[in-house]
Amino acid sequence: MPTIALLGTGLLGVAIGHRLLEQGVTLKIWNRSAAKCEPLLKQGAEQIENLDGAAKGCQAVITVLRDGPVSAEVIAELGDLDAVCCLPMGTMGISESRQLELQVQGQQGFYLEAPVLGSKPEALKGTLLVMAGGDAAIFQQQLPLLRLLSADPKWMGPTGSAAASKLALNQLIASLTHGYSLALRLVQASGLEIERFMEVLRPSALYAPTVDKKLDRMLSNDFTNPNFSTALLRKDLQLFVREAALAGVNAEALEGLVELLTLAKGTPLDAGDYSALHALTADSAKDH
């Protein structure tokens, strides 16, 4: 099995690390906050004390970091990549990913963007949806590694195509959650039982499984133990709006949703599950 460097051991990064270790991968790990490395160290990972030169001897460097600028900053600290492939799995802008590819090439490395759809449960089971963008030959080289995390990794096309796909999907997460929240609020205000409404919605073409996945959280206002936070959803939606403008797409309608999500700042909702968006559609949320 290969040696992999994993940079970023937040919620998703730790789950990816656990999966790789269970599959027999030799894993070297780093996080800005070293304490977050502890779960993987206990499972047998090796801690990277100094990023400079840490990619040496690795098949690949996987990054699961907050955004494009942070990914670029951390990868720069690796120095000469010596033909190692960098696989950023976090969400970033199309232009950011293309710029990061040039940076990695300048560091004598290879690049394959590989953002994922899914969170902790899917990562632990190896059922993440991996979207890869970059050179097709590099994708083929990294396919055995990607298959440890995904049953069917998809090559989307040149660099930027996977980043675009990931942003588009995360925009749908925000828009679908918002749309369902508004529907539930109106149904509740009318006095109609939610389950009666769901009996009509479920067999219709309007149904998406995410509504049942988040329904209990929304109705109980329990947004603890998140797999994807409200803060991260807002960050990704802001990134989508920015990239849409660069692409000449009119996404002005989403700016109101960004503003709504901004109401969570400074409250427990921001660190909670993104279904906390439902709490923001309550009339009382305007008073926060």
Domains of the chain and CATH, by start: 3-159 (3.40.50.720), 163-287 (1.10.1040.10)
Q: Which two tokens stand for residue 271?
A: 């660190």
Question: At which residue do the structure tokens 């109401």 appear?
Answer: 263
Give the amino acid at 217. R
Within 8 A by CB and 6+ apart from 207, the residues are 201
Question: What is the dihedral angle through the alpha carbons of 73, 78, 80, 86, rounded to the nearest 10 degrees?
Answer: -80
What pairs with residue 155 in β-bridges? Answer: 132
Q: How many other CB atoms are there within 10 angstroms of residue 7's CB atom?
A: 27
Contact 102, 95 (CB under 8 A): no
Q: Which two tokens stand for residue 103?
A: 């940076």
- Pairing label, strands 60-63, 85-88: parallel
What is this structure's pTM?
0.92
Reported as type and span, the H/E element at residue 5 is strand 3-7
What share of residues in the chain are helix, strand, coil (percent, to 5)? 55, 15, 35
**What pLDDT does residue 286 have?**
60
| pLDDT per residue rounded down to tens, the chain (288 residues) | 799 999 999 999 999 999 999 999 999 999 999 999 999 999 999 999 999 999 999 999 999 999 999 999 999 999 999 999 999 999 999 999 999 999 999 999 999 999 999 999 999 999 999 999 999 999 999 999 999 999 999 999 999 999 999 999 999 999 999 999 999 999 999 999 999 999 999 999 999 999 999 999 999 999 999 999 999 999 999 999 999 999 999 999 999 999 999 999 999 999 999 999 999 999 866 655
**What pLDDT does residue 148 have?**
98
Longest Cα pair distance anywhere in the chain, in angstroms? Answer: 65
Task: For CA atoms 71, 75, 76, 77, give the dihedral sign.
Answer: positive
